[in-house]
Amino acid sequence: MALKYNVYQDGEKIAEELTETTYTATGLEPSTTYSYQVSAVDTETGLESSLSEPITVTTEEPEPEAPDTPTGLASSDTTTDSTTLTWNE
């Protein structure tokens, strides 16, 4: 009996007729939990098995990004005890 596999994400089929027993889900959102299940399909009869027990996977949080460094720092209106600073975003 030849088998192929279907992959389900949150109850919806996202891949079908896979011949390998590995699959990489892509296009996921960061810091989000997903549920996955797999079924087998008999290629001769087309019958699909029940879904596997689900697993839950939570994607990683994104690395925080520092903002861009301000540019164009300048001073004006400098007196004996103050100065006005300006810069670009």
Detail the DSSP E strand segments found in 10-78: 12-18, 33-42, 55-58, 71-76
- Whole-model pTM over 0.85: no
For the chain, give the mean pLDDT: 96
Look at the block and give the residue holding tokens 């027990």: 53
Specify the fold of 3-58: Immunoglobulin-like (2.60.40)
Confidence class for position 32, pLDDT limits 50, 70, 90: very high
Neighbour-count burial for 28-49, b at 16+ CB within 10 Å, e otherwise: eeeeeebebbbbbbeeeeeeee
